[in-house]
Amino acid sequence: MIEYWQENSTQMMQLMIEHARMVLTALLIALVVAVLLVIFFIRKDNWMNSLVYFFSLLYSVPSYAFFALLIPITGLGEWTAIIVLAFYSEYVILRNFITGIREVDPAYIEVAKGVGMTQTQTLLKVQLPQALPAIFSGLQITLASAMAIATIASTISAGGLGDLLFEGLQTGQVVPILWGTILTICLTLVGIIIIKLIENIMISDWYDVQKG
Amino acid sequence: MTKTIINFSNVSKKYGKNEIISDLNFTVNEGEFVTVLGSSGSGKTTTLKMINGLEKPTSGKIIVDTHELDKCDLVELRRHIGYVVQSVGLFPHMTIADNIAVTPKLLGWDKEKIDRTVDQLLDLVSLKSEEYKNRYPGQLSGGQQQRVGLARALSTNPPLLILDEPFSALDAIIRQNLQQEIKALHQKLENKTFFFVTHDINEALYLGDRVMIMNHGKIEQFDKPEKIVANPATDYVKKLIATVRQNKKLWEEFK
């Protein structure tokens, strides 16, 4: 194990960076798209439900097939992987976003209107802040699943930690598979810790107060 | 001549075929403390929400101050009507100071003026500003939250406050304290009109300069409390007054 690390550490670090870059880019894209979709469609329930349904269908496409299907359109490489990951992430992020926003007590929305907020102000000042805990828990799930799915991106030459897994599979060695797994887990944990930190800064104290 | 601040003429409200309010006519004068008494389903909360346009009448005309509601900018109007609701009124994710400052911020006041207003209003409702302004609503008792709700409603110094059963979730002693305080507050703040909805007959009779008794979407009687007690206009009002007498008899038996 250790020997393998010593021989390949530079290359493994490189793979880790690729992996993180792929997942983070996909997550960012998915998050921005989710925010835009919510702002445009939150008051159109039918549209919103159809969108979620659409992304849930995409989510159920096996990842291997999804990568393969995109190759004729976007070719091999990192960007194809990012697109696939963004589509998968979109479903979970959007779903949590909407659930969070819809679960805000309608009484608060009426009060917001009553004190003179416009619909957009109500969304930004009342609904979104109260939906943040749900949004962050969605981000965590998305991060973990995107990290795992990204290993498959190796098959379309997008790089990342999947390279180690497939190297192990092809050469019948256990060590690279173990390293690939360990590093994927580490990367996921680091990501989750970072999300937690951002969450703590953004949600401040009110949520703790409410939970008692 | 006294100025009219709320005017309902031939107002009705239907949800589908269900008529909640039928042909409502009344006026409220500037500076009055009007209480609206009715059981649930009487249309009293709907009437209150029609004043700031949260509910729209199916037919009829409502004038608030000088604005005809179907022709004015409701968002702007609401910023100048204080609004107090039952338990869930304060936003849980904002501090007490931010809750009070919600509407001033929407109106774009500068920070200094907002800070000063928050301090003054917390003082007015007998809460120590230094101690409370940075707390969250979840850290306050029900009675304290309701005081903050009142302070928020006064933040833009509106001529009219509408209050939807603000004290109904509080226990008896705190409720009575707050009733005394809001009555004193109304006298202190000259020329502010309070429109206060309640289902508690004692509260309605104690607070109101005039009491509007509603039942099934109609006004049964709208008069000074002493006149309502002396001359109940309808059977429903008679029954209501009888419940108070019944309670009184119970107390005398215990003595």
Instruction: Kindly report the CATH number assigned to the domain that includes residue B63.
Output: 3.40.50.300
Position A64 scores a pLDDT of 86
Q: Does B176 share its domain with B69? A: yes
**Residues B54, B123: one domain?**
no
Cβ–Cβ contact B244 with A under 8 A: no
Confidence at A140, pLDDT banded by 50, 70, 90:
very high
B40 plus B97 within the same structural domain: no
B contacts of A110 (beta carbons < 8 Å): 54, 85
Encode pLDDT of B135-166 as tens digits: 999 899 988 999 999 999 999 999 999 999 99
How does residue A117 score in pLDDT terms, banded at 50, 70 and 90? very high
**What ipTM goes with this model?**
0.86
Whether the CB-CB separation of B210 and B223 falls below 8 Å is answered with yes
Of the three residues B106, B133, B157, the one that is the final residue of a domain is B157
Residues B121, B148 share a domain: yes
pLDDT for A26 equals 96
Name the band, by pLDDT with cuts 50, 70 and 90, for residue B17: confident
Domain that holds residue A34: 2-211
Shortest alpha-carbon distance between residue A133 and chain B (Å): 11
More confident of the two residues A212 and B203: B203
CATH code of residue A128:
1.10.3720.10
B201: left (phi over 0), alpha (psi -120 to 50) or beta: alpha
> From the CA of A115, how many Å to the nearest CA of chain B?
6
Q: What would the mean pLDDT of B178-183 be, rounded to a whole number? A: 93
Tally C-beta pairs within 8 A across A and B: 60
**What's the whole-number average pLDDT of chain B?**
92
Last residue of some domain: B140, B157, B174? Answer: B157
B19 & B59 share domain: yes
Q: Are residues B152 and B164 in the same domain?
A: no
Instruction: State how far the Cα of B26 lies from the Cα of B10, in Å rounded to an integer.
Output: 9
Tell me the per-residue pLDDT of A35-82, one tens digit each, with 9 for 90 and over.
Answer: 999 988 888 889 999 999 999 999 999 988 888 888 899 888 889 999
Is B73 in the same domain as B172? yes
Residue B96 lies in domain? 90-157
Q: Are residues B76 and B1 in the same domain?
A: yes
The minimum CA-CA distance between A131 and chain B, rounded to whole Å, is 10
Question: Which residues touch B102 (CB under 8 Å, ≥6 apart)?
Answer: A115, A117, A125, B91, B94, B152, B155
Count of domains forming chain B: 2
Write down the pLDDT at residue B179. Answer: 94
B25-64 pLDDT tens trace: 999 999 999 999 998 889 999 999 999 999 999 999 999 9
- Report whether B133 contacts B118 (CB < 8 A): yes
Residues B49 and B172 in one domain: yes
Residue B5 lies in a domain: yes
pLDDT over 90 (residue B169): no
Quick: pLDDT tens for B99-123: 999 999 999 999 999 999 999 999 9
Rounded to a whole number of angstroms, the distance from the CA of A94 to the nearest CA of chain B is 22
Contacts of B75 in chain A (CB under 8 A): 116-118
Instruction: Give the count of domains, chain A.
Output: 1
DSSP A58-79: HHTS-HHHHHHHHHHHH-SSHH
pLDDT for A212 beyond 60: no
In a domain? residue B228? no
Q: Mark which residues 74-113 of B lie under 8 Å from A by CB.
A: 75-76, 78-80, 83, 85, 88-89, 91-94, 102-103, 106
Q: What is the pLDDT of residue B190?
A: 83
B127 and B32 together in one domain: no
Say how many Å lie between the first and final Cα of chain A, rounded. Answer: 47
Same domain, B100 and B189: no
Chain B residues near residue A123 by CB distance under 8 angstroms: none
Contact status of B138 with chain A (Cβ, < 8 Å): yes
Question: What is the pLDDT, as a whole number, of residue A211?
Answer: 64
Q: Cβ of B109: how many Cβ atoms within 10 Å?
A: 17
pLDDT digits (tens, 9 = 90+) for B185-227: 999 988 899 999 999 999 999 999 999 999 999 999 999 999 9
Give domain status of residue B235, yes or no. no
Residue B250 lies in a domain: no
Q: How far apart are CA A63 and CA A116, in angstroms?
A: 47
Do B9 and B76 fall into the same domain? yes
Q: Is the pLDDT of residue B88 over 80?
A: no
> What is the band of B1 on the pLDDT scale with cuts at 50, 70, 90?
low
Instruction: Work out the number of other CB atoms within 10 angstroms of the CB of residue B7.
Output: 16
pLDDT of residue A206: 74
Residue by residue, what is the 3-state secondary structure of chain B? CCCEEEEEEEEEEEECCEEEEEEEEEEEECCCEEEEECCCCCCHHHHHHHHCCCCCCCEEEEEECCEECCCCCHHHHHCCEEEECCHHHCCCCCCHHHHHCHHHHHCCCCHHHHHHHHHHHHHHCCCCHHHHCCCCHHHCCHHHHHHHHHHHHCCCCCCEEEEECCCCCCCHHHHHHHHHHHHHHHHHCCCCEEEEEECCHHHHHHHCCEEEEEECCEEEEEECHHHHHHCCCCHHHHHHHHHHHHHHHHHHHHC
